A and B are shown apart, each in its own frame.
Chain A
Amino acid sequence: MNEHLIMYPIIVHLITAILLLFFWMKPSFQYYISVVGSAIGIIISAILFQYVWANGIQSIQLSNWEAPFGITMVADTLAVILVLLTNIVAFALSIFSTENMVSSRVKFGYHAIFHFLIMGLCGAFLTGDLFSLYVWFEVIIISSFVLLTIGGRKDQIEGAMKYFTLNMLASIIFLTGIAMLYGVAGSLNMADLSRIIPEIENRGIVRTISFIFFVGFGVKSAIFPLYFWLPASYHTPPTSVSALFAGLLTKVGVYAMIRIFTLLFPLDEVSQVVFMVIAGLTMFIGGIGALVQKDILKTFSYLIICHIGFMVGGLSLFTEVAIAGAVLYMFHDILVKSTLFMTGGVLYRIFGLTKLSRMGGLMDSHPKLSLLFAIPLFAVVGVPPLSGFWPKVSLFFASYVNGNVFITILFIFASLITLVIVAKIWNAVFSKKYEKIERDDSFRYFNEFNFKEKLSYILPIIILVGVTLYYSFFAENFQVAADRIANELISTEQYYNAVFKLN
């Protein structure tokens, strides 16, 4: 019975989405179903986390086809924590979308697609089969296409064209990798593959396949030089959609990368160097890109790219401390990037645009909001004791001990450039004097909102900032979890034994 728990986070969102389809014509009622569904999702994934934390890695064979013949779902500590964080972000965003999504968009099934997307994310984190990982990725991207284009504004369609082409191409590259891997290994179960791949004699083809996977996941996680779709599309949809994408979509690519390159193709010296150089360039280019942007949402988009470099860099060092740091960074990034984009959404409502040069004076006009917005902004830099600080300790330490001065310098450079960007945003939005611009009468500004509307904008930010603060002040708990995850990732026997029920 208890192993069925693994499927529940997926089923909750599936049922919520199907239920929402029945209320297609009643947009006002959909909000409640969506919020309740996400709340149940949090409870279920918390129970799953509790269970896996107490009893170790769990697995379930779908339709009772024994591994490696059937599809296996595996819940290890990394997967369940990511599912929990996904559900927390989804809950916050389902509250945020109640007012942020105008009803003309809700009419086209926004909430249903939203829950299909969350279902896809939970599935991608929990699956233990390479082909089913591909299928979950497709569930994610088809939902994200719809969310990106819903409403059909001009720049949305243009951003969606770029997003669509590159993500579709990434899926094709990923599928090519799967086909070639099946050709040489004859299995697609990840635990099974972790035993077959080291025994393949033709190492050249194994390396080729591993780099095909690297390119496929690289597009999805927006590493240099494959990131161009991200800043071209993330600022175009309504902010509740871009907050969802920013927090979770690139992270699922990084998750797949961490999973594949610890379990199937453990990094050797050559691929470590490649990963390290790519991670360094990602941090460098992302940081420089963010520095020159004049639009707040685009600045945040480039910051996402910059910080993907931390996770890939942590993976490239391939020691237990570094992987723990990368995983910790991922948890922090999921929370903070979603919060930042929601903050951007509120700023858009306050000022009526997203250009940094036309904002200002928020400290005088909204002092309490400024205090709230300061927390995610400082957390993203890593001001101690906020959440960005703790993973960076692990990453700096691991890279320095390893003797990789190159990546240490780039970690420090990326942190520094993030500080410069946050200082620039702080100056432009909070402390600069506000020059009044002509108000658009058809636009509903934040100050004209009633209490309920204001609450729906601010409450989700408070929830996520609360989780970030918990992370910051009780980082010890997260560090313990990350150490355990790193141990599970490096010594793959635990994963193998859990799938094949050997104890």
Chain B
Amino acid sequence: MEVLLAITTGILYASGIYMILRRSLVKLIIGIVILGNGVNLLIFLMGGLTEGSPALIADSGEILEGIYADPVPQALILTAIVISFGLQSFAIVLIKRAYKVLGTDDTDNLNKTDSII
């Protein structure tokens, strides 16, 4: 299972970077979204996978016993997902606005602010 997830993470990173390198603004945002998902999966994977034993204390006990899934990465991903959701929705509004104002979605045409006037 871990190997499968590791390969999936790799594919997500690779395709995210490929999409960012395309010239279209829409593909750029899709690339960032995919890359963000790859990172979330990586955090999840780095905690180690433990199937079927959530970090819950039984009614009878005071402390956690035996092997249990690490709860920290789960908390981290939740935070990271919420943050990236906010940023991605901003990004989508921004490209819509950019397309309207600049009249292009080709990143090669976005060179006005870089040129020496």
Contact = CB atoms under 8 A, between A and B. Distances in A.
Given A142-B90, A165-B20, A168-B87, A155 B76 contact: no
| SS class, residues of chain A in contact with chain B | helix
Interface stretch (B50-58, B59-67, B91-99): B91-99
Given A157-B97, A161-B25, A179-B46, A145 B90 contact: yes
B26 interface: no
B32 to A, nearest CB: 6
Given A155-B112, A157-B101, A232-B114, A169 B20 contact: yes
B47 A182 contact: yes
Interface string B87-117: 1001100110110011000000010111011
A149 B39 CA distance: 27
| SS class, residues of chain B in contact with chain A | helix
A231 B20 CA distance: 21
A131 B76 contact: yes
Q: How large is the interface on B (under 10, 10 to 19, 20 to 34, 35 or more residues)?
A: 20 to 34
B113 A236 contact: yes
Contacts of B102: 154, 157-158
Interface in B1-52: 20, 25, 28, 32, 35-36, 39, 42-43, 45-47
Contacts of B97: 149, 152, 157
Contacts of B20: 165, 169
A152 B32 contact: no
Contact of A231 (B86, B101, B114): B114
Interface stretch (A36-44, A266-274, A287-295, A363-371): A287-295
B80 A175 contact: yes
Contacts, number: 100
Contacts of A15: none
Given A145-B90, A158-B98, A179-B39, A235 B113 contact: yes
Q: How large is the interface on A (under 10, 10 to 19, 20 to 34, 35 or more residues)?
A: 35 or more
Contacts of A408: none
A107 interface: no
B110 A175 contact: no
A355 B101 contact: no
Nearest to B75: A131
A176 B39 contact: yes
Contact of B36 (A165, A172, A178, A231): A172
B31 to A, nearest CB: 9
17 contacts: A131-B76, A142-B90, A154-B112, A155-B113, A159-B113, A161-B25, A161-B95, A162-B110, A165-B28, A165-B32, A175-B43, A176-B39, A180-B46, A228-B114, A235-B113, A293-B116, A355-B117
Interface of B: 20, 25, 28, 32, 35-36, 39, 42-43, 45-47, 72-73, 76, 79-80, 83, 86-87, 90-91, 94-95, 97-98, 101-102, 110, 112-114, 116-117
Interface of A: 131, 135, 138, 141-142, 145-146, 149, 152, 154-155, 157-162, 164-165, 168-169, 171-172, 175-176, 178-180, 182-183, 188, 228, 231-233, 235-236, 292-295, 298, 355
